[in-house]
Amino acid sequence: MTELIPAPRSATAGSGEVRLTHRSRLCADTATQGVAHWLGAALRQATGLPLREGRELDDAEGGIELRLAPGLGPEEYRLVSDGSGVLVEGGSAAGVFWGAQTLRQLLGPDAYRRAPLDRDRAWSVPRLTIEDAPRFRWRGLMLDVARHFMPKEGVLRYLDLMAAHKLNVFHFHLTDDQGWRIEIERHPRLTEIGSWRARTKTGHRASPLWEDKPHGGYYTRDDIREIVAYAAERHITVVPEIDVPGHSQAAIAAYPELGNTDVIDTTSLSVWDTWGINPNVLAPTDNTLRFYEGVFEEVLELFPSQFVHVGGDECPKDQWRRSETAQARIRELGLADEDELQSWFIKHFAAWLSARGRRLIGWDEILEGGLAEGAAVSSWRGYAGGVAAARAGHDVVMCPEQQVYLDHRQDPGPEEPVPIGWVRTLEDVYRFEPVPPELTPEEARHVLGTQANLWTEVMEDHARVDYQAFPRLAAFAEVAWSALPAPAERDFAGFQSRMAAHYGRLDALGVAYRPPAGPLPWQRRPGVLGRPIDGPPPHR
């Protein structure tokens, strides 16, 4: 009947349909005017209907009404289409917005176009009642723009794609060894030097192929403000990530004093041009702490998010073991080893952020050496880190690489482009369960939600990102939003049936998804080495 993705909590069919015409109005109360402006702009360009805005519907003209309903939860909505028109109610503007996204789906794939295909066509939605609310409050997508830069327009496009799937947290991975992507006024060399590299490895790091031209780019402070504001209009929170103390060669290339200068000649380092775990990490010095406090001060000015991600993953300790400066700091602080030194580093910024009303979140390596008070964990190396954190009373976002790393390959076939990691099919993602069964109900309350991750080492442009993200991101969105049964009991055949309609929406949006039958000729990358892993991924 509805072919909606993600599936709503309940949908009850009526009889007949509601027509939208040139006389139909779009009405909103004060609290929902922002949603009305978004919905009106989207539908006017797709349908050509004027959809004049007002405060209440005229019974003779009908149309769409948006309003708050105090009895509903913050992201809960109710959509009723009947003889008087279409009513979308929500517990907040966010709930109304998600209801508006459902309405757009009900209008058909052409409601996603930027111009009407036929100005004389009839637009209608079936008469029905939908009641819906999300399972999780953190329904995230992480986009890595450090390995391959995505220009601002591409980021805005992904925010629209997230909104269309009722995802509400955009984890913005802004810095890494291969590039620094955010303007920091007090440290201009971070973008002057750190935002570009001389060349780029093509494929997996073992590949002999290179793209021998500079690659780079960064977002100005105004770009960031625009991205954050654009996301907020779509009820999406942008969580920035600034990596410390590992994944930092781009920053060290710009400011060599940030590295372990008593171990290596940091002035010889450039922005890294290949992939993998980099040995060049930040020095645990007061100078480094002050430098990054300055970075985070500017980050807090730009991002209102409660959470700030600090990375904390894949930090090799070899340089610290050989550094007298690092060893002296370990002795000075009475720490047991280098793991505790990293924990001290992370705890410093957890306290610094807390004093400013924010919360630190990091990858699950921040558990090693002791977890900072109040910190949240992104559990990526499987479920174990998230389970440990939840049992210790810390909040968790479940994003295990074995399940929802969308850079991993979608099929075992030889035509899959640059195959990375385990095979994660559309069905595999649909059967992903974010809450491990070993958690008690009290512990499970610490699972804020879940997140799919897009690492872009082998995604050189938005078409490659699209291919890896879709259609699997649609399956993930249903996992994050809908109250699904246990994985083995989920109706994947029913989901596939609804996807048949959803592919039409993705086509209208210009998404270069992977077709069910396999990659199209121009989506393949013959001869480019990947890193496939055979067999099923471990569940741990």
Q: Which residues carry out catalysis?
A: 176, 247, 314
- Helix count and strand count (H, E) for the chain: 17, 23
- The amino acid at residue 102 is T
φ/ψ of residue 432, rounded to 5: -70, 135
Q: Could you tell me how many residues make up the chain?
A: 540
Residues 174 and 241 sit within 8 Å (Cβ to Cβ): yes
Helix (H, G, I), strand (E, B) or coil at 360: strand
> Around 512, how many Cα atoms within 13 Å sit in the side-chain half-sphere?
16
Residues 168 and 197 sit within 8 Å (Cβ to Cβ): no
Residues 266 and 322 sit within 8 Å (Cβ to Cβ): no
Those residues whose C-beta lies under 8 Å from the C-beta of residue 174, and which sit 6 or more positions away, are: 145, 146, 180, 181, 182, 219, 240, 241, 242
Residues 234 and 38 sit within 8 Å (Cβ to Cβ): yes
CA dist 55 and 32 (Å) reads: 11
Those residues whose C-beta lies under 8 Å from the C-beta of residue 307, and which sit 6 or more positions away, are: 239, 358, 359, 360, 361, 376
The C-alpha R_g of the chain, in whole angstroms, comes to 24
